[in-house]
């Protein structure tokens, strides 16, 4: 994956516009039971690839969301379901060499809640979240994290005019903002946070499975690696944290209490719970993996909690003596 603005700039400028897909959705709401009402995709130049109203399978009304995007139940009464346009979506996402969205985690989650997974057809395609990149540039802090930034603000920053809360217009605006961003000298000064779409909930995965949504932080505190007693895993949002933890037992309110083992192999390292769930995989090329590689078989106690509501969540790991 790409860890700095220079690498992303080189990738984006090297690819033809036809190999870049930017997508967006409008939905019945923000919850875990909400569904897609409109899905749109454009290429890197903002040319429309898809713009479809979608008939939800479960929801019959969405008054709050209607006030925002104006899509009524009557508008989608005769629209296809997401499953009925799966072939179109598959063709678009499978042909992409780069997938982009503004708040990609939300749009991906909504597609999956409507029974469509991008990763089924594009399992390794790099993904970029323009919202996270722009937030890093704006640098408005919220606790220890960057503040969430609306698309309207990013568009205004780059002089992009659009009509918000229509997925086609939002996708076009995101494509323009991303292109402007890759030529922005200010953007080149900041490390960015690439967002990879992944299915977080896994049942009894193998240790080598890649779970790239986890960012890792090792607390060395000046001690030799073999004496490190604490470290933390930080998720991009409490939503991602809750999703990752949804599969795990022993959850007491906001705190997860369980134990796990560290398992290392030639190309990586994982933290695996007693229930055989993989919590995190560490990349061999990162500093964190270099620190962890000698800890194979050690037991850790896991405590999880949320920090800064809506922005970040952490797992705290303590080595058992």
What local confidence, expressed as pLDDT, does residue 215 receive?
A: 40
* Mean pLDDT comparison of 142-151, 167-176, 232-241, highest-scoring range: 167-176
What local confidence, expressed as pLDDT, does residue 297 receive?
A: 77
Distance between CA 248 and CA 255 in Å, rounded?
12
Q: Answer for the pair 135, 149: CB distance below 8 angstroms, yes or no.
A: yes
Distance between CA 321 and CA 319 in Å, rounded?
6
Distance between CA 171 and CA 47 in Å, rounded?
10
Q: Answer whether residue 121 shows pLDDT above 60.
A: yes
Fold adopted by 5-189:
Nucleotidyltransferase; domain 5 (3.30.420)
The full set of domain ranges for the chain reads 5-189, 215-319
Distance between CA 76 and CA 289 in Å, rounded?
49
List Cα–Cα distances, 53 to 107, 167, 172, in angstroms.
Answer: 15, 10, 17
Distance between CA 137 and CA 40 in Å, rounded?
27
What local confidence, expressed as pLDDT, does residue 320 receive?
A: 72
Share of the chain above pLDDT 90, in %: 41
For 9-39, what is each residue's pLDDT tens digit?
A: 888 888 999 999 999 999 999 998 999 999 9
List Cα–Cα distances, 244 to 112, 241, 283, 295, 316, in angstroms.
Answer: 15, 5, 18, 23, 14
pLDDT band per the 50, 70, 90 thresholds, residue 274: low
pLDDT band per the 50, 70, 90 thresholds, residue 143: very low
**Closest of 299, 236, 240 to residue 273, by C-alpha:** 299
Mean pLDDT, rounded, for 165-171: 96
Q: Answer whether residue 171 shows pLDDT above 70.
A: yes
Distance between CA 34 and CA 47 in Å, rounded?
28
Q: Answer whether residue 283 shows pLDDT above 70.
A: no
């Amino acid at each position: 994956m790409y860890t700095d603005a220079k690498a992303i700039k080189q990738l984006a400028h090297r690819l033809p516009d036809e190999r870049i897909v930017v997508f967006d959705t409008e939905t019945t709401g923000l919850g875990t039971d909400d569904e897609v009402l409109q899905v749109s995709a454009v290429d890197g130049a903002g040319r429309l690839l898809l713009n479809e109203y979608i008939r939800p399978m479960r929801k019959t009304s969405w008054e709050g969301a209607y006030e925002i995007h104006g899509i009524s139940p009557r508008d989608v009464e005769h629209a296809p379901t997401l499953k009925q346009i799966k072939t179109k979506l598959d063709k678009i996402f499978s042909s992409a060499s780069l997938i982009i969205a503004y708040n990609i985690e939300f749009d991906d989650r909504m597609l999956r809640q409507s029974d469509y997974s991008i990763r089924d057809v594009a399992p390794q395609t790099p993904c970029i979240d323009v919202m996270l990149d722009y937030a890093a540039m704006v640098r408005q802090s919220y606790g220890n994290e960057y503040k969430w930034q609306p698309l309207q603000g990013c568009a205004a920053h780059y002089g992009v005019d659009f009509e918000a809360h229509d997925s086609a217009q939002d996708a076009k605006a995101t494509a323009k903002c991303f292109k402007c961003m890759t030529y922005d000298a200010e953007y080149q000064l900041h490390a960015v946070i690439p967002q990879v779409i992944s299915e977080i909930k896994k049942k009894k995965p193998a240790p080598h499975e890649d779970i790239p949504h986890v960012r890792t932080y090792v607390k060395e505190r000046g001690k030799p690696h073999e004496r490190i007693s604490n470290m933390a895993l930080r998720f991009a949002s409490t939503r991602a944290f809750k999703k990752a933890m949804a599969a795990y037992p022993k959850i007491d309110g906001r705190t997860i209490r369980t134990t796990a083992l560290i398992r290392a192999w030639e190309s990586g390292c994982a933290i695996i719970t007693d229930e055989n769930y993989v919590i995190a995989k560490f990349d061999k090329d990162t500093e964190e993996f270099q620190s962890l590689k000698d800890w194979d078989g050690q037991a850790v106690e896991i405590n999880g909690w949320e920090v800064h509501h809506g922005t970040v969540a952490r797992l705290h790991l303590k080595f058992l003596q």
